[in-house]
Structure formats: C-alpha cells, structure tokens
Structure 1
Amino acid sequence: MESPYLSTVATTIQTAIAPVFLLAGLGAILNVMVGRLARIVDRARKLEQLHPSSTGPEHDRHVWELRLINRRISVINTAIFLCVSSALATCLVVALMFVSGLFSLHVGGIIAATFVVSMVLLMACLIYFLFEVRMSLGAIHVREELLELEKR
C-alpha cells in the first residue's frame, strides 16, 4: 500500500515543476549577466592601462568611457542581485509547497505572494539588464570623425 506521504510528495513534485523550470531560466539569465559583467571588467582593465599614456581627445574619450563603465558595473550588479533574489524567492516557493504538502499547512496565500515577489524581482532584474544594454550602446557607436563621412 502506498504511503500518504509518498503520494503527497509525488503530487507536490508535479506541482513544483513550473517554478523549477523558472529556476533554470533564471540561471541562464544570470549566466548572461555575469558574462556581460566579465566583459565590462575586461574593458575597464584595458582602458585603465591605456589611460596614463593617453593625451588630448583620446584621453578625454578614455575618461568618458571609464565613467560609463563604472555606471554600467553598478547597473549590472544590481540586475544580478535582483536575479539572484528572484531565484531565492522561487526556491522559497518550492520549499513552501513541500512543507505545506507534507504538514497539511494552508499557506497558499503565502506561496502565491512569494511567487508574485519573485516575478516582481525578475521584472526589475530585466529592466536593469535592459538599461545596462542600452548604456553599452553609447560606447559602441563609431565616432563620426572616424567614419570620414562626406559633409554636405
């Protein structure tokens, strides 16, 4: 005969599949953001090496880009923090589902609220990520003087 706890665990596992898939997605997003952070840091180190030997407009460009990089690091760090917080809230949802199922607790409202918090944190994470991507575009554009476009 099957234990009532075993059927409860099996049912809870089936119900917890969606938040577990969400965790996989959050891991992928986190991986992308950490990769961006690494590239930002690499660029900052390169500019820090070039900075002392640069002069004139080139020096000004390095200072401008270093300031932009400094802001980008802050923004991507915030996005990473929000993504990890969303993942932790999602883990809490799964844990609460199991505790609720095993001990017959009626905490559906708490589970729902925790899931909403996880989604709000994810949305904030994606907004910060989008903002950082938009900031990076400012440094990527080729300066007009290098394009040597004909003046009309």
Structure 2
Amino acid sequence: MVFPFTAMVANQSVDDVAHIIQVALTPVFMLSGIGTLLNLFNTRLARVSDHLEAIAEHQDGLRAGPDPADAAAPAMLLRHSRRLHQRVVMLDMSIGLGAVGGAATCGAALVLFLGSLRNAGAGSWLVLLFGVALVCTMGALAAFIGDSLLAWHGLRMEGPLPRSGSGHAK
C-alpha cells in the first residue's frame, strides 16, 4: 500500500526533502518570537487588570469614608482609571494583531511546505501570508509601544497610587 504523501516525495532526493523541511521550518522561528511577544502582552494585560482592581478598591474606600487629607484622590483615581482603560485597548490590539500575525506565519509555513512538495505556484500565497504576518507583528509592536508610552506618561504625570497606609488598598 502506497500512501499519497509517499508518492509526492518519491522522485525527490534526501537533500531535496531536507531542504523542503528547512524552508518550511524557517517561519517557525518567527512564530516562536511572536509567541514570546504574546506572552509579554498577556502578562502586561494581567498587571493592568490588577491595577484596575486596586483602583476599584481605592474608590470603594473613598465612598465608604473619604479621608479629608485625600481631597484630590477621586480625580486622580479617575484619571488613572481612564489611562489604564486606554492601556487595555492598546494591549488588546497588541494581542489581537500578534495572534493574526502568528496565524499568518503558520499559514506561510504550510504554503512553503506544500508548495515545495507539489512544485505548485504558491509564491503569491506565500508573499501574502508572510506579508500579513509581518504587518500584524509590526502593528502589535506599535500598539505595545503605545501602551508603554501611556504607562510611562502616567507615572511621570500622576505618580504611583497611594499605598495602603493612607487608608486605601494596595
């Protein structure tokens, strides 16, 4: 019994098959980098979420019994909350674009592999998928830079949240 895959590679030398595998695995390195970026973006998003929860606790503490020494606290917490929501949007964009870039990279690897096996005209698909992967990855990094700028600007303009010693949660 001959499998269809065996028939596709029967006329190719070991060197040809090894080259096909090398070419198809090249995008996997890009995929590994995108996976690392997605991990970074998700970690940042979790930290921003933690900060949003801390702000909600601060706001609850102010509603329960406002501290006269913290008269400016509600306005500061509102500004901080708005900035964190902007960061969530930027990080969501980073994650979404990174995921599309990773999927396009997988598609490019598949097209490379199948195109090499079948000697088909897969060039236009390859250029399209790899181009989408690169553009999405660049977009993800641009959105991440936007998140970083929002974070840095917030620290310079507003400073850190008050610590629990002033009656607020951490």
- TM-score of the aligned structures, taking structure 1 as reference length: 0.85
Match of 2:79 in 1: 64
Runs of 4+ deviating beyond 3 Å? 2-9
Structure label with greater radius of gyration: 2
RMSD over equivalenced CA pairs, Å: 1.9
Change (3 A) 1:90 1:6: farther
Q: Is the 8 A contact 1:93 1:114 kept in 2?
A: yes
Q: 2:11 aligns with which of 4, 8, 18?
A: 4
Q: Give the aligned length.
A: 143
> For structure 1, which segment, 11-20 or 27-36, has the greater mean C-alpha deviation from structure 2 after superposition?
11-20
- Give the % identical residues: 24
> For structure 1, which segment, 86-95 or 97-106, has the greater mean C-alpha deviation from structure 2 after superposition?
97-106
Give the CA deviation at 1:126: 0.7
Give the CA deviation at 1:12: 1.7
**How far apart, in 2, do the equivalents of 1:6 and 1:60 lie?**
71
Q: Supply the AA of the counterpart residue of 2:102.
A: A
Q: Where do 5+ consecutive residues of structure 1 fail to align?
A: 145-152
Q: Where do 5+ consecutive residues of structure 2 fail to align?
A: 1-8, 160-170
**How far apart, in 1, do the equivalents of 2:145 and 2:158 lie?**
23
- TM-score of the aligned structures, taking structure 2 as reference length: 0.77
1:79 partnered with 2:79: no
Query: Per-residue displacement from partner, 1:92-131 (whole Å, max 9, x unpaired)?
Result: 0001112212222111122012111111111111110001
Match of 2:25 in 1: 17
Q: Is the 8 A contact 1:78 1:125 kept in 2?
A: yes
